[in-house]
Structure 1
Amino acid sequence: MRPSDPAAPAFVQLASHPLRWKLLAELAASDYRVRELVERVGQPQNLVSYHLRLLRDGGLVTARRSSFDARDSYYHLDLQQSADALARTGSALHPALGFAPALPSPSSSASPARRPAVLFACTGNSARSPIAEALLRHRTDGHVEVASAGSHPKPRIHPDAVQVLREQHGIDISGQRPRHLDALLGRRFDYVISLCDKVREVCPDFGDQPRLVHWSIPDPAAATSPGPVGHPAFVRTAAEIDTRIRYLLPLLTPTPQEVQP
């Protein structure tokens, strides 16, 4: 008697649908609202919402209420979960395929003619964007030009952001001060990454057609339960930003074909 055929791994079942693959591809680049995904994939909202729900049930996609408009939600592709699911899918086909690829860092041996430039933006430039700036600069060791700014900068960097970066990552930003987005107008950026739903709506045009990316991350300063090692919300925020940055690094590293001789 022939044994029953094994079912395809969950990732294959989810990602093999053409519309769900399109949604995954869009969310791999940026967080989006449903109406934006409807426009980008060219399908009705009820159909997009149905397939987003399946992707959420499968653990690949998460949703957060917008801090700009609580009636809206931003959808986010969990790249770490996707990497783990791909590794499990490979293992199901053959044990030798069950590994997650290493994420490269920009290096001097594979640098373009000029360093890529990244701007992180949030409202107060006191927590999320300076954390992102510090972590990307730390991970790229000076091979990427990094800046951060806010639409309504606070008087100082939040002390919990300073503490978490120092204790969790060995980075000291105690001497840094928030600055306004307008102070960076005229500078060239390859990526402008908003980390706040509010600033996404008011971020100025930096010209030169930078790639606009949105990471919908809640303000850790809005949480209310302090802890013994910095604010727990700041620890979670720094960890999420660091994960997103690790998956940004390959996009900042030129492929061999892009490297000029």
Structure 2
Amino acid sequence: MTPSRQAVPPFVHLAAHPLRWRLLNELSGSDYRVRELVTLVGEPQNLVSYHLRLLRNGGLVTTTRSSFDGRDSYYHLDLDRCAEVLVGAGAALHPALRLRTTPPAFDPPVAPAVLFVCTGNSARSAIAEALLHHHAGGRVEVLSAGSSPKPSMHPNTVRVLREEFGIDISDQSPRHLDTLADRRFDAVITLCDKAREVCPEFGEDPRWIHWSIPDPAASGDIDADSYPIFRATATEIDTRIRYLLPVLAVGGPVRRSH
């Protein structure tokens, strides 16, 4: 009896190529532009772009247009999708190999110091600060700041954290990056393409991470019409925070790319 042939799971097929695996590895730590990935993997741009396109077609990688330079795009690894297809790949080989995606407990030996940066510090970075503090349960020192901070928190930032996560930041005000010039951080995470370009150095060899997330306050609306955008932004940041926790527990620097 001839054994039936089973198709190779899509994730295995995509990830098995050495260059695609290197691209996945780089994007697992930060969002990058094509030219930065070319430098990181040391391969020609046309080849890198080709394999990025395959990863996009496979649903593992997404892109966002840079808010700093509209000619650029940032590539982002969808870790939720990766977890999903990894589970499927394990189960396809044998039921006993069904992978579990429950994240490990966050228990670093020393509380890491983390800084979130965007332009206004009234939406994205403030949401990230609140959510990391919430998920880490006090086992992290976390601050946020802006390169050009707004006078006050956006009302929908306060609302989305209160209604969706039960977090109250109504007494919090935006902070300028300059006020943290003498602080040391283990990780500096920029959530704004513009702020990434002007963010100063902090401490000695921190972990540099970029999350290319559009500004939910870009429309200038402060009423209920813009609230769904804030909710979607908070959901994305919450997902990224969940995957950040194991990285912070391990520690170690990541080189800064511009």
> Aligned runs of 1:98-113 on 2, under 5 Å?
98-107=98-107, 111-112=108-109
Map 1:83-232; keep pairs closer than 5 Å. Answer: 83-107=83-107, 111-112=108-109, 114-223=110-219, 228=224, 231-232=227-228
Counterpart for residue 256 of structure 2: none
In the alignment, is the contact (CA less than 8 A) between 2:117 and 2:188 conserved in 1? yes
Give the Cα separation in 2 of the matches to 1:5 and 1:242: 40
Q: Tell me how far 1:254 sits from its aligned partner.
A: 4.4
Task: Give the count of matched residue pairs.
Answer: 251
Distance in 2 (CA, whole Å) between partners of 1:233 and 1:249 is 25
CA distance in 1, matches of 2:221, 2:56: 28
TM-score, structure 1 normalization: 0.92
Cα deviation, 1:70-116, whole Å, max 9, x if unaligned, reads 00000000001001110000110111222333113423xxx42x310
Q: Quick check: 2:189–2:209 contact (8 Å CA) kept in 1?
A: yes
- Sequence identity of aligned pairs in percent? 66
How far does the alpha carbon of each residue in 1:15-68 deviate from its partner, in whole angstroms, 9 at most, with x for none? 000000000000001000000000100111011000000000000000110000
Offset, 1:7: 1.4
Letter in 2 for 1:41: V
Unaligned runs of 5+ in 1: 256-261
Instruction: Return 5+ residue gaps in structure 2 as ranges.
Output: 252-258
Using the alignment, how far apart are the partners of 1:250 and 1:75 within structure 2? 21
3-state DSSP class of the match of 1:100?
coil
TM-score when normalising by structure 2: 0.93
3-state DSSP class of the match of 2:150? coil
Structure-2 separation of matches of 1:74 and 1:126: 23
For residue 3 of structure 1, report the CA deviation from its aligned partner: 4.4
1:124 and 1:154 in contact (8 A); partners too: yes
